[in-house]
Amino acid sequence: MKLSGHNTLITGGSQGFGRHIVEAFLAEGANVAFCARTAQDVAQAQAALAPSLKPGQQLVGLACDVADPASVAALFARATQLGPLHAVVNNAGIYGPIGPTEEVTLADWTQAWQINVTGTLLVCQHAIRAMKPHGIGKIINISGGGATNPMPRFVAYAATKAAVVRLTETLAEECRANRIDVNAVAPGALRTRLTQQVLAAGPDKAGADFYAKNKKWSDEGAADPKLGAGLCVWLASAESDGITGKLISAQWDPWKDPAKFRALATGDVYTLRRIVPEDRVKKPTP
């Protein structure tokens, strides 16, 4: 098993894609601490997952608001009781307001940033503090299509997910000397509660094209969440050591062929690409 004995913290782990991540890490032998917004969600997930635990394997669930510093501190205080923290997966996130940008309220915009960006930052800060003394660790931030494509009528989601990727790249450089790898994962279009939120919003708010896509995903299925969960496992394992500062698509990037992926990853193809002088048909100043 790739993660036997590893201690992992996963946010937003009670349902949807986060639940698949928790299940994948447990299947690979990891001890897992996970959180969800409510104690009820935590209890239901823990009861469902407990029968699959191997002898000696630990599963700890806690209610946590990732946008609240005190709540995140309490989460890490409990998670680190498992032992040295090897990996953290930042999965908690929301779509935020759906509709034309000029109709977005400041309260809804702020909430999306608090959960998607500030929450990710708070968890990363605690993770780095926990990992630095051991000189190794893995941080995996869940991004998505919002980071790489314009998403009309989902302005808060698109902006926050792009911010998460640049945060990931920045932390990767800061943490390189400490052998803490920081990467972002784009799991692909998934059939989750977010899909249902789009359908509930309707085509007028979500846009006819995006509504139709979500209706198709809801009716016929979308990307396999196990693929993205498998990528998270790989990034948390020793097999990916040294790969850092990348935004990796679970569907489209060749991460299952590590040699090929490492060869491609030496450039900027898996990043929010920098604009260099050559892009403007200019030569850099000597």
Q: Residue 157 catalytic?
A: yes
Three-state SS string across 202-239, please? HHHHHCHHHHHHHHHHHHHCCCCHHHHHHHHHHHHCHH
Strands 59-63 and 87-90: unpaired
Q: At what angle do helices 225-236 and 16-27 cross, to 10 degrees?
A: 50
Compute the residue count for the chain.
286
Cβ within 8 Å of residue 28, ≥6 positions away:
1, 2, 3, 4, 233, 237
CB contact set of 101 (below 8 Å; sequence gap of 6+): 153, 155
Strands (E) in the chain, as ranges, are: 7-10, 31-36, 59-63, 87-90, 137-142, 180-186, 247-249
Q: Which long-range contacts (CB under 8 A, 24 or more apart) does 144-151 make?
A: 144/186, 144/187, 145/186, 145/189, 147/184, 147/186, 147/247, 147/272, 148/186, 148/247, 151/210
Yes or no: say if 258 and 246 are a contact pair by the CB < 8 Å rule: no
CA 139 to chain centre: 9
| Catalytic residue IDs | 157
